[in-house]
C-alpha cells in the first residue's frame, strides 16, 4: 500500500467538523474543479476524473467525532481506502486525511503526485469551507 496524508487544524469544535464530513453530499465541495459527473447521497458518491477513471465510493465506517472510512462501492482501478481522522485540540480540531492505494510500480510513478495533491486539496478546501 502507498499512503498519502495531509494534516490540518481547524478552528471549529470536533462535532461540527465530523458532522460535515459524515455527509458525502458535502464532499463535492472538497474536490478539485476537474471532478465531473458528481452524484451523491449521505452514504455514497460517484464521479469521474477526466482521462482517468470513474469512481464510486461509500462511507464504510463512521466512528462519531473520531473517523470516517471511505471505500470503493464498485470495483476501482486499484485497491483504495480514504480515511478522515479527527482529534480535539483545545478549541480546534486536528484533521488527518489519508489515502491508501495499492499501486503497481507503473501506477505509483503516474499517480503519486496527483494523489498527494488530492489529499492536500481536500484538507485545504475543508479548512477554507469551515473557517
Long-range contacts, stretch 70-74, CB < 8 angstroms, 24+ apart = 73/44, 73/46, 74/46
User: How big is the chain by its Cα radius of gyration, in Å?
Assistant: 14
Q: Identify whether the C-beta of residue 83 lies closer than 8 Å to the C-beta of residue 68.
A: yes
- Note the pLDDT of residue 78: 82
Give the domain ranges of the chain: 2-129
Q: Note the pTM of the prediction, 2 decimals.
A: 0.93
Cα torsion through 56, 61, 67, 69, rounded to 10: -30
Report the chain (131 residues): mean pLDDT per 10 consecutive residues: 96 97 97 94 92 87 98 88 96 97 91 92 97 85
Q: What is the pLDDT, as a whole number, of residue 30?
A: 97
End-to-end CA, the chain: 33
Beta-bridge partners for 58: 44, 71
Bridge partners of residue 4, in order along the sequence: 99
Cβ-contact 86, 94 below 8 angstroms: yes
pLDDT value at position 110? 87
Residue-by-residue DSSP string for 23-85:
-GGGGGGGS-TT-EEEEE-SSEEEEEETTTEEEEEEEEEEETTTEEEEEESS--SS-EEEEEE
Residues 2-129, CATH architecture = 2-Layer Sandwich (3.30)
* pLDDT score, position 62: 98
Amino acid at each position: 500500500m502507498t499512503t498519502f496524508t495531509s494534516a490540518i487544524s481547524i478552528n471549529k469544535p470536533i462535532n461540527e467538523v465530523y458532522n460535515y464530513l459524515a455527509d458525502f453530499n458535502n464532499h463535492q465541495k472538497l474536490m478539485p474543479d476537474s471532478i465531473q459527473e458528481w452524484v451523491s447521497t449521505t452514504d455514497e458518491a460517484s464521479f469521474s476524473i477526466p482521462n482517468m477513471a470513474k469512481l464510486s465510493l461509500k462511507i464504510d465506517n463512521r466512528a462519531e467525532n473520531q473517523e470516517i472510512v471511505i471505500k470503493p462501492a464498485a470495483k476501482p482501478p486499484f485497491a483504495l481506502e480514504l480515511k478522515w481522522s479527527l482529534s480535539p485540540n483545545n478549541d480546534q480540531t486536528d484533521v488527518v486525511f489519508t489515502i491508501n492505494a495499492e499501486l503497481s510500480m507503473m501506477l505509483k510513478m503516474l499517480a503519486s503526485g496527483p494523489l498527494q495533491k488530492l489529499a492536500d486539496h481536500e484538507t485545504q478546501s475543508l479548512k477554507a469551507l469551515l473557517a
